[in-house]
Structure 1
Amino acid sequence: MPKTDPIAEARLAICEVGRAMWQRSQVAANDGNISVRVGDQVVCTPTGVSKGFLRPEWLAVVDLDGAQIAGERPPSSELKMHLRVYELDSNVTAVVHAHPMYATMMAIQGRDLDCRMMPETIVALPKVPLAPYATPSTKAVPDSISDLVLNNTACLLENHGALTWGPDLITAYLTMERLEYTAELVWRLESSGGGRDLPDAEIEKIRRLFGV
């Protein structure tokens, strides 16, 4: 059997996830970025390209210090944020940054996302903290998320958007989907009279049952 090329597979997977993000309006124009760590290399979306129209050969390959090894285009200017996540948690192999509408509105308001109304949210994404504002493309951005990486799988970026990470790309992407669904749910409930948290006893029962 022919040997698989993990870099080529990562390129294709990133293009598929980028298209899904664009189709679900998680990004507009050239916004957002995606990366996958393959050993001591990182495959990353290029700067200035819509995530809905990526081509595998455009994606950059960099080392863990950010030096470009391959790819027709330079990596996203937000690569520093991705590399910081990989540096802090060796179990993470994928990072997704997007600007989903409802999550971004909360980030602009300076709020974290805390939803205790649904069992699924309590199990999968009980709280999404807010990283303080940092000027895009500067070292301040990775610094702003450093304290949040090890104990979370997602964060809101104040006045910027959202970031998710996980052990594989589909997990990181689905965390972004759940984050935005939850943000929209909270926003719509607040706009229509408010929702109701599950009772504390039920929340503890769910946490014990699912080991969270």
Structure 2
Amino acid sequence: MASERQHRLAIVEFGRLLHGNGFVAATDGNLSVRLDENRLLVTPTYMSKGRMKPSDLVIVDLDGNRLEGKRNVSSEIGMHLLIYRLRPDVQGIVHAHPPTATGFAASGLDLNQPLVCEVVVGLGEIPLARYGTPGTPELARALEPLIPTHDALLMANHGVVTYGSTLENAYMKMETVEHFAHIALVAHLLGRAQPLGEKEVEKLWAVRHSYNSAGKCTPDTLVRRR
């Protein structure tokens, strides 16, 4: 099991990757890890994710109350608390605004079509949650129906949230979402998008299941997106 210091270093590292890859700008985005059954380690508000130090991070309880740290916790803490509550398997969460995927979200488009086999295996589908004002219960209500069955969500006119068994796993899912958004955009611009067929999706779903992927969307939902 990783120590608190290791978790702090990991959040700083993946925050720098988010910023360096252009997935966040200015003070956008937030990350968190589950330290234990009662505490979370979260990024602070109003701070560039590319310039954080381990000491800048904040420890909160499962009600979002600050337990340790000098800075104020991210305004999106409610979203993190909801995901950890609904998904006991989740140990790390990443929220960012990767440009292409966020462009889909701002256009009212999901990323559910089974266009790339690796994405079907790794994420299943990437649905679009309706708009909710950031940092409010309205956003939590918009996300709540989708969290138990998916590992990555587009948020209308907002961005992307991914979560997984580790912070690294959650970050890799964010990279996958943005990479797939690029591919989907090119396929649609070419006007020749060719979604995978039902049998192919079922085979990939079997592979996904064998990898013990956390999300529980079914192959039927993917086939219906063709």
Q: Aligning the two structures, in what range does the TM-score lie when normalised by the shorter sequence?
A: over 0.9
Alpha-carbon separation, structure 2, partners of 1:79 and 1:117: 33
Distance 1:168 1:160, change over 3 A: same
The Cα shift of 1:208 comes to 3.0
Alpha-carbon separation, structure 1, partners of 2:179 and 2:113: 11
8 A Cα contact 1:115 1:122, kept in partner: no
2:111 alignment counterpart = 113
Residues 127-169 of structure 1: CA distance to partner in whole angstroms, max 9, x if unpaired? Answer: 1111111111111112211111111101001100000111110
Gaps of 5+ in 2: 211-226
Residues 8-60 of structure 1: CA distance to partner in whole angstroms, max 9, x if unpaired? Answer: 22111100000111111110111000000111111100001111111111111
Select the residue among 65, 68, 82 that pairs with 1:67.
65
Select the residue among 145, 158, 166 that pairs with 2:143.
145
Report the AA paired with residue 41 of structure 1.
Answer: R
8 A Cα contact 2:24 2:98, kept in partner: yes
Select the residue among 162, 168, 171 that pairs with 1:170.
168
- Superposed, which structure 2 residues align to 1:21-32 within 5 Å? 21-32=18-29
1:185 alignment counterpart = 183
The Cα shift of 1:210 comes to 4.5
8 A Cα contact 2:187 2:193, kept in partner: yes
Select the residue among 8, 11, 17 that pairs with 1:11.
8
Alpha-carbon separation, structure 2, partners of 1:5 and 1:172: 16
Distance 1:194 1:50, change over 3 A: farther
Alpha-carbon separation, structure 2, partners of 1:191 and 1:89: 36
The Cα shift of 1:112 comes to 1.3
Alpha-carbon separation, structure 2, partners of 1:153 and 1:201: 23
Alpha-carbon separation, structure 2, partners of 1:208 and 1:82: 30
Alpha-carbon separation, structure 2, partners of 1:5 and 1:195: 43
Gaps of 5+ in 1: none
Distance 1:186 1:9, change over 3 A: same
The Cα shift of 1:126 comes to 2.5
Report the AA paired with residue 71 of structure 2.
Answer: R
Q: Which aligned runs of 4 or more in structure 1 are off by greater than 6 angstroms?
A: none
For the residue of structure 2 that corresponds to 1:207, the secondary structure is helix
TM-score, normalised to structure 2, is 0.88
8 A Cα contact 2:121 2:207, kept in partner: no
Calculate the aligned-residue CA RMSD, in Å. 1.5
2:32 alignment counterpart = 35
Alpha-carbon separation, structure 1, partners of 2:5 and 2:140: 27
Distance 1:59 1:209, change over 3 A: closer
Identity of aligned residues (%): 39
TM-score, normalised to structure 1, is 0.93
Alpha-carbon separation, structure 2, partners of 1:142 and 1:202: 34
Report the AA paired with residue 34 of structure 2.
Answer: R
Distance 1:110 1:75, change over 3 A: same
For the residue of structure 1 that corresponds to 2:9, the secondary structure is helix
Alpha-carbon separation, structure 1, partners of 2:62 and 2:125: 29
Alpha-carbon separation, structure 2, partners of 1:199 and 1:133: 31
For the residue of structure 2 that corresponds to 1:51, the secondary structure is coil
